[in-house]
Amino acid sequence: MKKIVTIGGGSGQFALLSGLRDERDIHLTAVVSMVDSGGSTGRLRDELGILPPGDVLKCILALSPYQEIARTLLLKRFRQNKRLQGHNAGNMLLTMLSRYTGSFPSGIQALAEILDVTGAILPVTIDKATLVARLTNGSHIYGESAIDVPRGNQREKIQEVFLVPHHSDAISVYPPVITALREADHVIIGPGDLFTSIFSNLVVPGVCQALRETRAKLLYVVNIMTKFGETHNYMGRDFVSTLEACLGRRVDGVVINTRRPDADLLENYSSQKAEFVTCDFTDASWFGRTYYTADLLETSGDIVRHDAKKLAALIMRIVSGEQEADACAAG
């Protein structure tokens, strides 16, 4: 049985896990970012001093065989009670279970048991922290939600992100994460926002070192669209080089969508200053690399995302050795 670890957060990791959930002969472990600071999650974190439940809840739903009905129930938001208004049922349930069991990982395990989740879901850290971005002009932005949604029409590029602990001198990785990375056969990074979903995991001390030392093959799923304030004007090579600079090593394979969304949909995204991610494979930065290209696009609801089934099918072919890499000239 192949051991696969995914690293990320948000809707990208949800899509990947949803696609891989029913595949046979694999064991999934999701390593999840712990810096979400928006919406219901942010309010619970501020009011109760808990770890943010939002991204963990997405992973639990993705790995449950009751995903559709569970999403309907657990993502339903309260409206009548003023204190509960705006919160969803899943976040409240996970918060209650965590407090009753005495730890956030135990709460995750309890909710996963209720929903018959297959695989494991691990918070990258159980230390409370705030994600901070340092921009090229030297200014700082505090909090995942503020980094995620830039204000105004212009913003300097992100130079680095780091974590500021709330109640301790340092942040430490949750130990089972290191064990999972060491024992993995494949580690899949992404898809997801580069700085807020992926780097927020990698900047936890010990994670990059474990990824440099693991015997696992590292696969990186490149985003389909750029994001203003994070990856504006990025090409595929920029995603890869920025990630590898953080990792301190090369990834073993890069997964890239090749199908371009319709012009009308791209026009809608241009209002958000988001662009389709292109790759020029004649560029020297791709020479000697292993990369896999395919139509991985899903655009229902006028939202550009990775198709869960297409992505999972490609990942499984790569993991099993059935998928040949695209030809790449030696550099």
Summarised one tens digit per residue, pLDDT across range 3-25 is 999 999 888 999 999 999 999 99
**Residue 125 to residue 34: CA distance in whole angstroms:** 7
**Domain spans in the chain, listed from the N-terminal domain onward:** 35-123
**Residue 53 to residue 297: CA distance in whole angstroms:** 28
- Side-chain half-sphere exposure of 216, counting CA atoms within 13 A: 25
**Residue 111 to residue 16: CA distance in whole angstroms:** 20
329: pLDDT strictly greater than 50: no
Burial class (CB in 10 A: 0-12, 13-18, 19+), 184: buried
Do the strands 158-165 and 186-189 form a parallel or antiparallel pair, or are they unpaired? unpaired
Summarised one tens digit per residue, pLDDT across range 173-202 is 999 999 999 999 999 999 999 999 999 999
Summarised one tens digit per residue, pLDDT across range 83-129 is 777 778 888 889 889 999 999 999 999 999 999 999 999 999 999 89
How does residue 170 score in pLDDT terms, banded at 50, 70 and 90?
Answer: confident
Tokens 């997964």, residue located: 255
